[in-house]
Amino acid sequence: MLGIWRRIRATGRAAEPPLPAPQERHPIAAELGGSVQIRHVDAGSCNGCEVEIASAFGPVYDAERYGARLVASPRHADVLMVTGVITRNMTEPLRRTHEALSDPKAVLAIGDCAHNCGVFAGAYGVTGAVSDVLRVDLGVRGCPPRPEAIIEGIRRLTGR
């Protein structure tokens, strides 16, 4: 939050300039047609990634301008955004949520915990990383990842 105030003092505006074109479109971007409906599932995170996701979809970064929208039901979603490690209690609900997505579908893993379990590796209640349970199409690294990185991942999926 402090960075926003510094940016306002330095530039006179809070919003970031538009991001450059994504480096590489994901192959599923053509199938999704330029916009995605995203269902977010917290499978066992510390909520650091959720704060950054909220920032990415907030008024400063505004991920919706790139064709991404958060939805409440997996039946309305094209992309499953997963944060955190997969805990024992969330393994089966995560699989069911993934099965409820319509085709074509993609899985977006957010944060270091989703990739390699981070600081929770080896904990008794942890099944593993997202790739241990589902096929991950795209990942965003960081602990937690910055909103710009989350938006870049979304832009690769939308192709916008």
Domain of residue 88, CATH code: 3.40.50.12280
Q: What is the pTM of this model?
A: 0.78
Number of domains in the chain: 1
How many Cβ atoms are within 10 Å of 125's Cβ, its own excluded?
A: 11
The position carrying tokens 């920032």 is 55
Greater model confidence, 151 or 32: 151
Helix (H, G, I), strand (E, B) or coil at 87: strand
Position with higher pLDDT, 27 vs 144: 144
For residue 102, the enclosing domain spans 2-158
